[in-house]
Every structure is written in structure tokens, then in C-alpha cells.
């Protein structure tokens, strides 16, 4: 029998049950059923053609060699400009490392900060891959409840209760997936104060920075008193409708990036120069793609909220940001899992159960906004029909 490292056990079967509805929806599609799929969130517009032109030109003019571990000079300069302008402090290339997407950035950053015996704190609900990111390090995940009555925004008092002597890192996500919650600068400062008191790192997942409908973006990276303990991670996946290019980065203290560089080099040996050129170009101007997505996702969120409002006790508040809306179906008496599975079988509408994103989202559904308006409308009709049937059954 061959032996494997314990990391394979820690990650085995991770989350496959969370995707049961999505997997069943794909099966039904293959069997010929027409399914309206609101499970996955992925930009529904193509990567802008001017970006593709830059990547193609770069490829054709020899930008296909090896890069270096930190990133190509052009993209480092573009990121320096972005974060210097945003933070009001000088953020040079020594503060930055490029990675293939936020996901890689999260994983490698976390490997540099925590290990077995440590605790990493996240909100609950949380983005589905965070469990794997934490477990890969060997650390244990500890949750802070994100409460509907606070608009799912993490509160410093709740964080304080989750801290133990083993806590090393707070993994913060604003704007938040799946709730769309956007932390205010005051909330970030209060959360940061707890982290300062307990000497915690803050890893700030900011992939939805440009997809805010309501409120303004605040990051611990932008607060000078938190800068020495904050590492922000982001990418062009959402902001520029370019998830397949896998172009992301982290920004943090120079000492941190220097310490992490050998790990990044040993794993990645640099990222693709032609994609770096495309990313540098994209970061050099306002994102028209983000403006388009903000407009359509906000419109669809309003549409869903209006359609579901008060039907059989259901509610769906318009989120502050992102690519999803949550529907509160607790009044139907069904769990999110049971409602979502019945919705798929009976109405051929696929949505994610809230439970897939943590215990605190039990009795909710997550609906993707990156689907055309007519499909959104038909999905709402299916939800209304099922909820109405459930209510009639209850009162009969």
C-alpha cells in the first residue's frame, strides 16, 4: 500500500456534498431536461476584446518566456499605482506578489502564515473554498457568526469571542460571497482593533471590490494602523470578467512578500508574461466590464427581491455587492438543502442551499445574478410556485 501525506486526508471529499444540487442539475441537463441554473457565479459577459488584443499581441511578440517569482515589471508597476492611489501610501513592487488568481494567492499566503496547532478565523457564512485553504495549512478553522440582523457584516464583538491564544489569522472577505455584505470603514477599523490587540494577521479577500452597488469599499490595507498586519488578495477574475486567465496578486508588508517569495517560486516559477501584460493594461484604466456587471447584477437583484417579497413568508433583500442574492425561505419550514432539491426536481430550477456556505445560512438559498433576466424571472416563478404549494400544504 502506498502512503500519502496527511494533507490528502484533510482535503479528501471536501465539500462535494455542498454541490449535491448543482451536480444533480448537471445530471438532469445531460438527461435532456431544461434546467435554469442559478448555482454558480461567473461573469456573464466575455472578457473585453481590447484585453484579448493586448494578450494576443504580447503572445505574438515573444512574451512567452519564463517570468520571475514576484511578477513582471509592467504589472507590478500597474498594481503599485492602483494600491498607492487607493491607500495613499507608497506601495512599491516589494509589497506585491503575482499569482494565478486569488485562489492561489489565498492558499500560498495562508501557508506562509499558519500551520498545525494554529487557528484561522473566518466568518460563517463563508466562500466555499475557504475550508480547503485553511485545512491545507494544517490549521483549524474557527468561525465568527455573520448575523442577518447586522446585514451579515462581521462585528468586532463577535470576532473578539472567537479569538483564542491559538488564533493567528483573520480571513476577511468584503464585499462578501455569498451575502454581498460590504464592511464600512468604521467596521473594518473596529475589527482591525481586535486583530491588533491579539496580534492577528488579516488576510483580506477583495475580489469583489469593483462590484459594489450600495456603499463604498473599505479595506484594512487602506488603514495605516493595520497596514503592518494586512495582506490583501484580489484578481481580474470578477473585476474584468476574466476568470479563465488566472491573474491575481497579494499586497502586504515587504517583509511578508520577501518571506513568501521562495514558496511561490518553488511552486509556480512565475506567471505568464502575456497575461501579465494584459493585466497591466486592464488595471491602467477604469473597468467598463465592472460597470456593465454592476448595472445588470443590481437590476436582477432588484427584480428577484421584488418577485419574492412576502410570497409565503419568503424574503430576498437586495445585496450591497457581488454576484449573488440570498433568499430567506425559513418561513416555509424547509431547510435550504430540502427546498433547493425539491425546487430542482419539481420546478427544474437549480440554486445553492445556504447550508453549503455554513451553518449560519441554514434556511437560505443563494441565487446567482450572472444569468439573463428572463431566466431569473422564470426561476422566481418556480420558487413562488413551490413556496405557495408548501404554504397550502401547511395550512391544509
Ligand X SMILES: Cc1ncc(COP(=O)(O)O)c(C=O)c1O
Query: Is 101 near ligand X (CB under 6 A)?
Result: yes
The rounded distance, in Å, linking the Cα atoms of 396 and 111 is: 55
Closest approach, Cβ 122 to ligand X, in A, equals 11
Nearer to ligand X, 263 or 384 (CB): 263
Query: Is 243 near ligand X (CB under 6 A)?
Result: yes
Query: Is 47 near ligand X (CB under 6 A)?
Result: no
Closest approach, Cβ 102 to ligand X, in A, equals 3
Following DSSP, what letter does each residue of 34-52 receive, concatenated?
A: --EE-S----SSPPPHHHH
Of 248, 353, 358, 363, the one binding ligand X (CB under 6 A) is 248
Closest approach, Cβ 63 to ligand X, in A, equals 21
Query: Is 102 near ligand X (CB under 6 A)?
Result: yes
Closest approach, Cβ 151 to ligand X, in A, equals 17
Query: Is 80 near ligand X (CB under 6 A)?
Result: no
Closest approach, Cβ 346 to ligand X, in A, equals 28
Query: Rule CB under 6 A: which of 139-198 touch ligand X?
Result: 173, 177
How many residues of this chain interact with ligand X, rule: CB under 6 A?
12
Grid coordinates representing 227 are 497596514
Grid coordinates representing 177 are 460571497
Query: Rule CB under 6 A: which of 195-224 touch ligand X?
Result: 205, 207
Query: 265 to each of 30, 259, 366, how far by Cα in Å?
Result: 41, 11, 37
**Torsion on CA atoms 259, 260, 264, 266, rounded to nearest 10:** 40
Assign 3-state DSSP to the chain and report helix, strand, coil percentages, each to 5.
50, 15, 35
Cis bond upstream, residue 150 (ω within 30) = no
Nearer to ligand X, 170 or 380 (CB): 170
Q: Are 109 and 251 a contacting pair, CB within 8 Å?
A: no
Query: Is 125 near ligand X (CB under 6 A)?
Result: no
Of 155, 235, 279, 320, the one binding ligand X (CB under 6 A) is 235
Closest approach, Cβ 235 to ligand X, in A, equals 3
The pair phi, psi for residue 172, each rounded to 5°, is -100, 145
Q: Are 133 and 106 a contacting pair, CB within 8 Å?
A: yes
Query: Is 39 near ligand X (CB under 6 A)?
Result: no
Q: Are 217 and 185 a contacting pair, CB within 8 Å?
A: no
Grid coordinates representing 28 are 438532469
Binding characters for ligand X, 361-380, by CB under 6 A (x = yes):
--------------------
Of 39, 107, 137, 237, the one binding ligand X (CB under 6 A) is 237
What is the separation, in whole angstroms, between the first and last Cα of the chain? 59
Closest approach, Cβ 294 to ligand X, in A, equals 16
Nearer to ligand X, 96 or 380 (CB): 96
Query: What region does 151 belong to: left with phi over 0, alpha with psi -120 to 50, or beta?
Result: left
Closest approach, Cβ 243 to ligand X, in A, equals 5
Other CB atoms within 10 Å distance of the CB of residue 336? 26
Which residues are at the interface with ligand X (CB under 6 A)?
101-103, 127, 173, 177, 205, 207, 235, 237, 243, 248
Amino acid at each position: 500500500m502506498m502512503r500519502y501525506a496527511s494533507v490528502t486526508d484533510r482535503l479528501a471529499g471536501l465539500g462535494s456534498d455542498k454541490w449535491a444540487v448543482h451536480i444533480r442539475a448537471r445530471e438532469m441537463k445531460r438527461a435532456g431536461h431544461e434546467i435554469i441554473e442559478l448555482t454558480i457565479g461567473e461573469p456573464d459577459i466575455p472578457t473585453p476584446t481590447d484585453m484579448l488584443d493586448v494578450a494576443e499581441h504580447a503572445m505574438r511578440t515573444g512574451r512567452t518566456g519564463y517570468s520571475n517569482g514576484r511578477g513582471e515589471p509592467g504589472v507590478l508597476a500597474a498594481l503599485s499605482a492602483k494600491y498607492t492611489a487607493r491607500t495613499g501610501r507608497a506601495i512599491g513592487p516589494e509589497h506585491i506578489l503575482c499569482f494565478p488568481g486569488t485562489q492561489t494567492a489565498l492558499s500560498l499566503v495562508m501557508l506562509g502564515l499558519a500551520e498545525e496547532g494554529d487557528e484561522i478565523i473566518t466568518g460563517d457564512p463563508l466562500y466555499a473554498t475557504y475550508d480547503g485553504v485553511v485545512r491545507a495549512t494544517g490549521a483549524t478553522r474557527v468561525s465568527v457568526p455573520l448575523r442577518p440582523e447586522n446585514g451579515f457584516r462581521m462585528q468586532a464583538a463577535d470576532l473578539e469571542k472567537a479569538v483564542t491564544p491559538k488564533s493567528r489569522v483573520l480571513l476577511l472577505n468584503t464585499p462578501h460571497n455569498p451575502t454581498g455584505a460590504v464592511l464600512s470603514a468604521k467596521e473594518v477599523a473596529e475589527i482591525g482593533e481586535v486583530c491588533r490587540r491579539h496580534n492577528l494577521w488579516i488576510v483580506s479577500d477583495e475580489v469583489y471590490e469593483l462590484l459594489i452597488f450600495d456603499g463604498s469599499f473599505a479595506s484594512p490595507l487602506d488603514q495605516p494602523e493595520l497596514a503592518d498586519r494586512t495582506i490583501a488578495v484580489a484578481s481580474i477574475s470578477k473585476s474584468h470578467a476574466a476568470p479563465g486567465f488566472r491573474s491575481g496578486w497579494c499586497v502586504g508588508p515587504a517583509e511578508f512578500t520577501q518571506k513568501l517569495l521562495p514558496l511561490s517560486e518553488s511552486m509556480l516559477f512565475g506567471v505568464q508574461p502575456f497575461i501579465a501584460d494584459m493585466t497591466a493594461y486592464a488595471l491602467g484604466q477604469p473597468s467598463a466590464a465592472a460597470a456593465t456587471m454592476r448595472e445588470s447584477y443590481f437590476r436582477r437583484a432588484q427584480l428577484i427581491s421584488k418577485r419574492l417579497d412576502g410570497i409565503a413568508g419568503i424574503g430576498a433583500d437586495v445585496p450591497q455587492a457581488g454576484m449573488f442574492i440570498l433568499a430567506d425561505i425559513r418561513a416555509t419550514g424547509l431547510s435550504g438543502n430540502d427546498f433547493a432539491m425539491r425546487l430542482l426536481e419539481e420546478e427544474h430550477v437549480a440554486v445553492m442551499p445556504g447550508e453549503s456556505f455554513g451553518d449560519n445560512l441554514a434556511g437560505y438559498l443563494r441565487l446567482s445574478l450572472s444569468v439573463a433576466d428572463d431566466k431569473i424571472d422564470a426561476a422566481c416563478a418556480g420558487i413562488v410556485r413551490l413556496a405557495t404549494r408548501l404554504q397550502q400544504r401547511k395550512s391544509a
